[in-house]
Structure formats: C-alpha cells, structure tokens
A and B are shown apart, each in its own frame.
Chain A
Amino acid sequence: MDTTTALARFGLDREVLDATLGSLFERRIDDADVYIEHVESEGLVIDEGLVKKGSRSIHQGFGVRAVVGDKTGYAHADVIDRASLLEAARAARTIATESSTGGTRALGSAHGTRDLYPIRPEGDPLTQDLGAKLALLEAIDRRARAYDPRITQVQASFASERRVVLVATADGRVVVDVRPLARVSVSCIAVDPAKGQRQSAGAGGGGRWEFPVFFEQGAGGVAHWEYWTDEAARRAVLLLDAVDAPAGSMDVVLGPGWPGILLHEAVGHGLEGDFNRKATSAFAGMIGKQVASPLVTVIDDGTIATRRGSLNVDDEGTPTQRNVLIENGILKGYLQDRMNARLMGVAATGSGRRESYAHMPLPRMTNTFMLSGQDAPEDIIKSVRRGIYAVAFGGGQVDITSGKFTFSGAEAYLIEDGKVTAPVRGATFIGNGPEVLKRVVAVGHDLSLDEGVGTCGKEGQSVPVGVGLPTVRVNDITIGGVNVAKRGGA
C-alpha cells in the first residue's frame, strides 16, 4: 500500500503529518514520530463440537511521540483527525521544556522496498469465505476426537488480522506496512477415568500466511492443521501415562523448534537495549565477553519471509535485519530501538516494536534462534546417562536483573542410560541466563523454527515472535518436579 492510499484510508493527508511533527519540533527535541494504525481482526472458536460464536473487530488510533535525551512524551487516541493529532502533539511535547525554531517539517515519500509477507486478496485469511474457516474448525474437531476415545474435549480457534501501520519519522520518512497474521490453536482434554487422570495439551501455528498455506504439507507428512491437531491430541493422551517429574539439577536435552524459548528467556530479554542502557540487565557491559559455550551462535532475524515474528519495518519505521547477538559464545550486540541506540551511540537494529498505537515502542525480539552445530540428535541423547529430554514447552519468564529464568515443560521424558523412556508430568525448569548457555555441551545439526504460536510480553505489551533451536544438551538445569528420590545428575 502506498503512502497516499494509506493516508486516504485514515482520512488524512500529508499536510496533517507535517503539521503534527512541526508542532512537536516547536520544542527542542531529539526525535519524534507519528504512528497510525488500523487493525481489522476476526476470531472463530469451536467448542464442544459447535462453532458457537464468532467475533470481528476494527480498532484504529494513533500515537504521537516526542523524545528528548532519555525522556519521552507520548499521547495517543482512537479518533484519527487533525484536531486530535494536534492536541496529542501539544500533550507529547510537554516533555521538552525548551522552545526551538524547528517549525514545519517537510516529509519525503519513502515506503517499503521489500515485502516479506505479500497477501493476494483471494488468499487473505481475514476476508476468506466464512464457510471455509468454519469447515476447517469442524475438521480439526473431528480429527482430534477420532485420534483416541480418551479425548473428551476439543477447543480450536482460527484467528486472523490485517494490521495497516503508517509511521512518519523525524527524519522525513513516511513508511507504510501492511501486516497479515493468522493462527490456528487446538487444545484437547484427555481423561482416563480408571486412573483418575485428566490432562490437557495444546498445539497450533501459523504466520503471516495466505489461507491455503494452512492446508499445505507441514511436519509429519500431513497438512499443517492436521499436524497441530494430531500433536494436541497425542500429547494429551501421552500425559495420561506420565510419571512424576524429578526434582533437582539435571542434564537436559532440548528438542528442536519451540524449545528455543530457552534463548528467548535466558538471553533474549537480557540483550534488549533499554535494560542495558540503564544497566539493569545481568548482561550490561558484557559486549565482547564470553557469555556462552563456543558452540553457541544466537541470531535475532526479523527478515524471514512469512514468519509470525517477522516485520518489513519495525514500529518506528526502521527496516528489520538479521542481528547476531552471540557468535561462537561471544556477546556481539544488543537489540536496539531508536532511542536506546542514540543514547548508547550505536545503530538502531530494527527492533523497536509496540503492541499497538496505545503503546510506546520498546526494543524487542523478532525471531530468535540458535544456529545448527555438528552433532547428530540421536548421539546427543545417547550421551546422557540420566537426564531429561524436553521437546515441548508452555510459557516462560525471566527476571532480567537477577538473570533467573523459567520455562514450563509440556512434553518431556526421562533419559535413562542414553535412552528416552517414560514421559514426565509438567514441571517448571529454572536457570540462570548468563550461565546456562555456558553449559551447552552439544549442538545438533537440526535447527528448526517453531510452528508460529509465540506471543512475548514486556511491560504489559504483547507482540508476536518466533523462536528456534537445534537439538542441544545443556548440563545442570534445575527441574521443578515433586520426585526427590529420582533426583539425578550426569
């Protein structure tokens, strides 16, 4: 979408942006932007075999920002018109006290030169015929119930949105990005009355996809939606036979894909520019230092086509890029938005993201993953005498100051004498971010990215992200099970 079309859609023209930025620059400020957004979204849920309700919404609004030094003035509203923009500019600029002769700013007309997620109108999940989406949900429900008689409940949803973002920057650029996003989620409950066991499991995926992609072949040699359905059902049933998880420090083999949540929590947040500029991160001042095993190279890449975490430009209008965070164990750089980059004297890395117009941008991750190593995954498992093999996780969290992070196991097994044995019940894993990657002793050659389900929260703002990992062995992670007797070590 070009700038003029986007502006017309918001009922605005170039002059309004000039006037708004001009109003901001009547004060002496270092940076400013106007962010305008229109989001149309739809949600459909099948529950107890029936699509009982659907929802659709349109949310739009703008945010006006003035930055001086490390200070930010921000005003946002959901009525997009000249008067509201100028009122917001007057509110935002109160952060700066000195006047300036800046006057009106003349904007250029740059817009994106690449499109990582083009969507043809006929493939747009949002505007797809409702019948096709309802049929998909009904097929998921039938497939999950047919998987095993112990599956008692199935809930599945199809969520899609189209987000049109326009950013006018202080250096005279106007950038427009149209961001599609769609996701299937499946959750199953399995009950074994004889054992008195009840388990739940979920799976799903998607991305900045056209609708037919959901029906293309994915993992397991079946369509993506079929794979996620099978995974949710399989895992719920599997857990009915799970044994208590051990408690204590153990060697852990993480499977490929979504277990990359380890990187997101253990190092990703701690490498965001704001925490390091303020020196509140456990990683502050460690550029050039060894923070991981030499086997470990960690990348944050916002430019992978059609991925959930990818963006053509970030929410400050900076093109995204491939950022090397850790190379062969050495800390190479932080993730930067414009403000923190300026204050730290480095370049912005295309990492300024916001949940919506009602939020200020923060340095955030996009798709964060570890590069493949040399080892065969089966050899890595064989190398562990007694430990845990974890292939799926729920959520995670980190305290970036102390560096302690957790992630919650959703599918994990005991490793006994180099063999994967019994599944274990859900347990929380805890570790120390600056230390844990130093204990990576093997990296597989099987990097894969997750299926497209991640949502990252920071300071109350949620944004879609991706993670990825090859099979890795990490020694000495604490597992929060109940079984002290089965405590083990390498």
Chain B
Amino acid sequence: MSGANGGEGLQSRLRHPQEDLPAAAQGDTAGSIDMAGRCAFALAVAKKAGADFADAMVAGGRSTSVKVRLGNVIEVVQSRDQGLGIRVLVAGDGGLKTATTSTSDLGDEAIERLVTAAVAMARRTAADPFAGPPESGFEPEPGAPIDLETWDDEVYRLDPDRALQMALATEAAALGVDARFTNSEGGEMSWGYSELHVTDSNGRGRGKRATSASLWTTPVAEDGPGKQRDYWWTSGRWLADLESPDSVGKKAAARTLRRLGARKPETAEVPVIFEAPIASGLLGSISGAANGGAIYRDSSWLCGKLGQTIAASGVTLVDNPWIVRGAASRLFDGEGLATRPMTLVEAGVLKTWVLDTYSGKKLGLPSTRSAWRGLGGSPSPGTSNLWMNNGDESLEALIAGTKTGLFVTGTVGGGANTVTGDFSQGVVGLWIEDGKIAYPVEEITIASTLAAMWSAVDGIANDRHPGRATSAPSFRIGKMTVAGR
C-alpha cells in the first residue's frame, strides 16, 4: 500500500486492454454499441455547448476468466464493459481551456448532462497556450505494416471448457514437478476483446479492436519451516502465441523451487545480474525519466542529458509500435498521429525524449507520436513495445563470468526514483560464488544511483523475451550495494 499505489504483490499480471488499442482488422463485428454514433452525439453536444474543439472516445469489450486451484475450478468471471470519454477545449485569453469527462452510461441524457457540464468546467480552468490538438502527422508513415494482426478469432471464440483445461494443465504442470509443491495460489486463463472508436470535431475518426489472452500459475512450495511462491505467465493477442500450459507451469515451478532455503547474506558491494524479467522492469527508469511530462517540469534525473552518454556503450533501447501481434503495437497514437519506431538510447547515448503534442510544444519539439489516452483524461506520453537489445553471450556465460555476485530473480517493492536518480529495491535472488549459483538469498535490498548503474552495465546476455510490451535481456551491473545482515 502507499500514498500512490503499491501492493500485496500479485497485481498487474492480468491487464486487459482498456486504453488505446492497436488497429482493427476488417470483418467480424463483435460489439453491439454504435461507437461512431455515440461519439458523434457527444461531439454535437459539445459543439452546442460552445466547445471550440473536442475529441470523443467510446470503448467497450468483454472478457472471461477461469481460475483453478489444486485441480478444481474456483472462479469464473464474466466482464462486460463500455464507456465514453470526451475532452473539450474552449478558447480563452491566450490559449485553450480543457476539461475531460467520462461515463459508463451511454444514454443520450447522461452524455448530454456530462458533456454540457464539462464545457462549463473548461470555461473555469486556466487558458494554456500550449494546449490543443496536433496539426499534422496524420498520414500513415512509409513502411508501416498494413495489418498489425491484433485480432484473433480463436481467442474471440474460445470455448470456456478449453480455457479451463488450459488453466488446469498449467497448474498441474507446476505442482507435478516436485513433491515439495504442497499448495497453490492457483492458475488462471483469461481472454477477451476490446473495441475503440475515436472521433474529433475536425471530423477525423478511427477505430481499433483487439483480442488478448493470458495464462498464469503461482505454485507454493514448502521445505521444512520455509514456504515460498513464485509465478510465471504468458500473454498474447493470438492464442497460438501463448506459451504452452506445460511450459508456463514448469517455469513457475522452477522459479519457486530455487527460492527454497533462502538465507540472508552479509552486507556487501558486489556485481549484480538482473534476470531478464526483472531487467525489463528497469527500463522504466530511463523511459519514464525521458517522458516529456517529467522533462518540462524539470523533475527527472535525465534533465539536460539529451544527446549525452547516460549508459554503457552496450545499452540500446528501441521503441517500436509496428511489431505484428505485439502487445503494445499501434499504427496511430492517442492523438491520432501516425506512429513510427524510434531509438531512445543508442550505444549508451540518449537520443530522444518521449513526447506527445503538449509536452513537445512545452519543449519546442515535435511530438514523437507517443501519446496514450484513456477514457478518463487527456493524452499523455508513453512508450509502446520498448526493448533493450540483446548482447552476444548466454546468461550461463554471464553468470560463469561473475566470481562473486548476486543474481536478482524477483523484487519486493521499492525501486527507482526517477526524479532524484536514487535506486533502492527489496529483492530475492541467488548468490553466485566462483561463477556458479551457490544458494538462494532473500530479505535483502540493492542500492545505487541510476546514473552509476546504467554506466556500469558490463555484461548483456542474449535472452530477451520478445513477447512482452517491455523486454530486456539479463544484464550485469559491475557494482551495487547489497544490504543484508
């Protein structure tokens, strides 16, 4: 828990697409809402109330999840969602004034009441010379894929019994690995689709839809007094892109078993290797800090560092929204601009900020077409499929090349402060002695500064998991403080 957020630990693995979805395939219409019609109605109300510009979004979808535990189904959940969001801008003295509103009630009366109130609210906010929609960049970029293949009929029509069998098989594969698996937090298969339509008061409209499916299991193992859990998950827009239940279960089992018998090591300064799934989480310490919103507010450790070396020369970060079937792929951003791939960090040099139109204007730069928008608010910048390039050695070689060190396999809260550049995180992992995994460790923290960490990346493996929206290979940082006993 926290002032902002935090958690018991299992969140954010089952995220259904709610925000800006990748582009739609043609053909089958899944929903029953007249999305374009609802947008048009909301825009007409906004215009009548006096808005000078507005863009309306209608999203909807259905999803189902089946959860099992210890071989029995324990939860079946069916979800049906819909909503309309609209942003209204009113010309003021020296700029535009903005308000946003959203509702899950798509009836005429609710839309009329809320949109009229939003225009009235906008009149009371401050005029902002930087506010406003983009003026150009709507034409598709050369080389962009025609079809991002975000829709899979097999997911859309998935038989719940088949989903149940997949969840059962995943958990069983984990629990069957070893007799020390005495318990389970269960396994779950969830799947569904979302649709989205956006229209603005200049008549620009676009629609998208996407399917998604995910599968996870969290086994619990016991060995004497110690009890441990860990998990593995797979997700994709296409059913065929999911890892097999057997693979998911066995990975979850291996991740849990290796934590049994963990000790608390002595406090020390040693090299630290981040396993690929954990390394992926570190990319936000650059991409979040390079976010235009943080830069124009002068609240990022990367302020003033554009064009400078911020990481070791092996570090290259790419943001590519054009990956076919990719988790965060899209042809248009949240302001309707045609997306394009970009290199965020090239051989250690920071090449660009991550910008939407507003933060770009604040910094005197064009948008990098990185806007995301949910139903409830205005656009803001963010990355799409973000990854760090693979290195050329195997993870085994990276570990073998580390005399004494820590191999981080999980996190327990804390992390990067992208304003100050401080880093302090609770972790679990495996201790490395003489280039070999020696024993599991827990109840420790690792600390450094982001500037020191990224400069000290001295080994990068070739094990990036390409199926995730954000992915990095395992990599080693030459020295960090490990706090234990």
Contact A247 B98 (CB under 8 A): no
Looking at chain B's contact residues, the main secondary structure is strand
Binds A, one of B192-200, B335-343, B413-421: B413-421
Contact A245 B424 (CB under 8 A): yes
| Complex interface residues of chain B between 412 and 458 (CB less than 8 A to chain A) | 412-414, 417, 419-420, 422, 424-426, 428, 442-449
Contact A482 B481 (CB under 8 A): yes
CB contact under 8 A between A404 and B428, given known A77-B80, A78-B82, A465-B1: yes
Select one of B104, B118, B121, B426 contacting A428, CB under 8 A. Answer: B426
Contact A79 B1 (CB under 8 A): no
CB contact under 8 A between A52 and B128, given known A200-B419, A280-B229, A399-B229: yes
A312 on the interface (CB 8 Å rule)? no
What 0/1 readout, one digit per residue, does chain B (312-351) give for beta carbons within 8 Å of chain A? 0000000000000000000000000000000000000000
| Complex interface residues of chain A between 17 and 61 (CB less than 8 A to chain B) | 47-48, 50-61
What 0/1 readout, one digit per residue, does chain A (406-449) give for beta carbons within 8 Å of chain B? 11100000000000000001111111100000000000000000
A358 to B77 CA separation, bound complex (whole angstroms): 9
Q: How many B residues are at the interface, by size bracket?
A: 35 or more
A354 on the interface (CB 8 Å rule)? no
Measured between beta carbons, the chain B residues less than 8 angstroms from A199 are 419-420
Looking at chain A's contact residues, the main secondary structure is strand
A277 to chain B, nearest CB (A): 11
Contact B447 A396 (CB under 8 A): no
What 0/1 readout, one digit per residue, does chain A (270-295) give for beta carbons within 8 Å of chain B? 00000000111010000000000000
Contact A52 B125 (CB under 8 A): yes
Contact B445 A278 (CB under 8 A): no
Measured between beta carbons, the chain B residues less than 8 angstroms from A79 are 80, 82
| Complex interface residues of chain B between 78 and 104 (CB less than 8 A to chain A) | 78-83, 98-104
What 0/1 readout, one digit per residue, does chain B (443-485) give for beta carbons within 8 Å of chain A? 1111111000000000000000000000000000000011111
The residue on A at minimum CB distance from B120 is A130
A161 to chain B, nearest CB (A): 13
Select one of B12, B14, B105, B124 contacting A134, CB under 8 A. Answer: B124
Q: How many A residues are at the interface, by size bracket?
A: 35 or more
A487 to B102 CA separation, bound complex (whole angstroms): 52
Measured between beta carbons, the chain A residues less than 8 angstroms from B104 are 58-61, 78
B255 to chain A, nearest CB (A): 13
A125 on the interface (CB 8 Å rule)? no
A52 to B97 CA separation, bound complex (whole angstroms): 7
A264 to B413 CA separation, bound complex (whole angstroms): 14
Contact B81 A459 (CB under 8 A): no
Contact A455 B4 (CB under 8 A): yes
Contact B227 A480 (CB under 8 A): no
CB contact under 8 A between A395 and B78, given known A245-B424, A278-B69, A400-B8: no
| Complex interface residues of chain A between 470 and 490 (CB less than 8 A to chain B) | 478-484, 487
B interface list, Cβ under 8 A from A? 1-14, 69, 72-83, 98-105, 110, 114, 117-118, 121-122, 124-126, 128, 131, 183-185, 220, 226-229, 259, 262, 264, 267-269, 297-299, 301, 303, 376-378, 412-414, 417, 419-420, 422, 424-426, 428, 442-449, 481-485
* Subset of 9 A-B contacts with CB under 8 Å: A57-B114, A78-B82, A95-B76, A200-B299, A397-B6, A400-B9, A426-B424, A458-B11, A484-B269
- Which 7 pairs from chain A and chain B are nearest by CB? A480-B445, A395-B2, A397-B413, A428-B414, A406-B413, A395-B6, A406-B426
